[in-house]
């Protein structure tokens, strides 16, 4: 059991009502939804008595206690990293881009599912976390294990994982306010002529429930879950092969909806190579969806003062994130599977190093399948230029 928490006047003043769930959220610095999970799973004592009523009134001087979580039922049992890599070798390709006591950022390979499901018969990223990141506990009774955002099965790239409830709370808040986000790379058929903004409402496709699609406000009467979405697509490089009409684009999201990039491109009559679900019918249908979360920006849950000196500074700010960047320092670390422009360090800091709110910008190197495709159909020298993090950030600045 966690140390006793004595309710103070400060904690009561920070809540609109002195309810157990609200006060618990303030005292533990976690979202109210997580506080509700703790109460639901019978982990909260109020004055040494188990309390399962979220609306229970809390008074000055009351004592709260948090019990150790009950063991969770497992949908499968993998006892070693070797066990999951034997079933799915892709787990060997997971690279940790950053790790400290609060959170880690990984480069997720394609063809790995994030969360467990009863119908899924293969290991997931959650299984990898259980086996390799022992300090990460099951946060507040759910089975998310610190994951605050997702990538589709076939999508690769940067993914942040919280190690503590406080970090989970901080990262979730940043994600909601868009202080945390990612820049994607995608290979598309039928090039865009210029940078393009897509703003629309997304909802489930009326005829294919696996897809999301662009809908109008009028459709809201017939569809639940209609949500506003916005993306910006910036062309980076056109294919040099005379027989192909391909383009490498960078994508900045202003909202984070399911399949947002794929659905927005479909609304423009474009499709990502390999994305047969959303209508790609070209000759590269055997490829996975060639979409990669290349750059991630996020502020450290405890501020930039704890960061090591090995991080670099970007010369230009990420628009809407931090306008205080001032300098650039580069250093390289050899990665045999990457293009020349990807040989630089995988973690960068954008912003003034003295500012506690300076966001980290992590670079997730491309995987071999996407690199091979780029090298076959695009000019390598130009690729080295456009795949520079600085070049991509400038596209959106």
- The pLDDT tens digits along the chain (397 residues) read 556 788 999 888 888 889 999 998 888 877 787 788 888 888 899 998 999 999 999 999 999 888 866 544 444 678 889 999 999 999 999 999 999 888 999 999 999 999 877 677 899 999 999 898 865 655 555 556 888 888 999 999 999 999 887 888 888 889 888 889 999 999 999 999 999 999 999 988 888 888 999 887 666 555 567 889 999 999 999 998 778 899 999 999 999 899 999 999 999 999 999 999 999 998 898 999 999 999 999 998 887 544 443 343 333 333 334 433 332 223 223 333 334 333 334 445 444 433 445 688 999 999 999 999 999 999 999 999 999 999 999 999 8
In a domain, 61, yes or no: yes
- Smallest CA-to-CA distance from 158 within 366, 297, 364 is with 364
User: What length is written for the chain?
Assistant: 397
Separation between Cα atoms, residue 378 and residue 375, nearest integer Å:
6
In a domain, 266, yes or no: no
In a domain, 39, yes or no: yes
* pTM for this predicted structure: 0.76
Domain enclosing residue 28, as ranges: 5-66
In a domain, 136, yes or no: no
Neighbours of 6 (CB within 10 A): 12
In a domain, 30, yes or no: yes
In a domain, 14, yes or no: yes
Catalytically active residues, by annotation: 152
For the chain, how many structural domains are there in total? 1
In a domain, 310, yes or no: no
CB 154 within 8 A of CB 274: yes
- Residue 19 belongs to a domain with what CATH number? 3.10.290.10
In a domain, 10, yes or no: yes
């Amino acid at each position: 059991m966690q140390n006793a928490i004595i309710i103070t006047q400060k904690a009561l003043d920070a809540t609109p009502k002195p309810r157990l769930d609200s006060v618990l959220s303030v005292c533990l610095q976690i979202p109210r939804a997580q506080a509700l999970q703790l109460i639901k799973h019978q982990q909260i004592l109020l004055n040494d008595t188990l309390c399962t009523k979220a609306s229970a009134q809390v008074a000055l001087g009351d004592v709260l206690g948090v019990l150790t979580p009950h063991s969770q039922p497992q949908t499968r049992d993998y006892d070693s990293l070797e066990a999951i890599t034997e079933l799915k070798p892709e787990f060997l390709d997971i690279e940790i881009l950053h790790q400290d006591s609060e959170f880690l950022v990984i480069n997720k390979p394609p063809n790995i599912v994030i969360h467990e499901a009863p119908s899924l018969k293969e290991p997931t990223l959650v299984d990898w976390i259980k086996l390799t990141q022992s300090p990460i506990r099951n946060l507040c009774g759910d089975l998310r294990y610190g994951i605050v955002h997702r990538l589709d099965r076939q999508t690769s790239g940067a993914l942040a994982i919280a190690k503590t409830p406080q970090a989970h709370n901080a990262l979730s808040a940043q994600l909601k306010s868009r202080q945390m986000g990612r820049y994607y790379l995608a290979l598309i058929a039928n090039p865009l002529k210029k940078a393009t903004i897509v703003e629309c409402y997304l909802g489930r496709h009326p005829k294919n429930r696996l897809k999301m699609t662009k809908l109008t406000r009028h459709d809201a009467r017939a569809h639940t879950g209609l949500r506003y979405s916005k993306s910006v697509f910036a062309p980076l490089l056109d294919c040099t092969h005379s027989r192909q009409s391909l383009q490498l684009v960078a994508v900045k999201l202003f909202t984070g909806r399911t399949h947002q990039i794929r659905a927005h491109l479909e609304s423009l009559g474009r499709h990502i190579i390999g994305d047969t679900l959303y209508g790609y019918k070209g000759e590269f249908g055997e490829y996975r969806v060639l979409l990669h979360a290349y750059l991630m920006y996020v502020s450290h849950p405890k501020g930039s003062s704890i960061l090591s000196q090995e991080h670099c500074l970007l010369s230009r700010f990420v628009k809407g994130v931090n306008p205080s960047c001032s300098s650039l320092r580069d250093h390289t670390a050899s990665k045999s599977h990457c293009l020349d422009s990807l040989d630089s360090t995988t973690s960068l800091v954008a912003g003034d190093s003295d500012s506690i709110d300076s966001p980290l910008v992590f670079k997730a190197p491309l995987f071999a399948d996407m690199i091979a495709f780029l090298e076959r159909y695009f000019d390598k020298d130009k690729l080295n230029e456009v795949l520079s993090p600085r070049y991509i950030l400038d596209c959106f600045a």
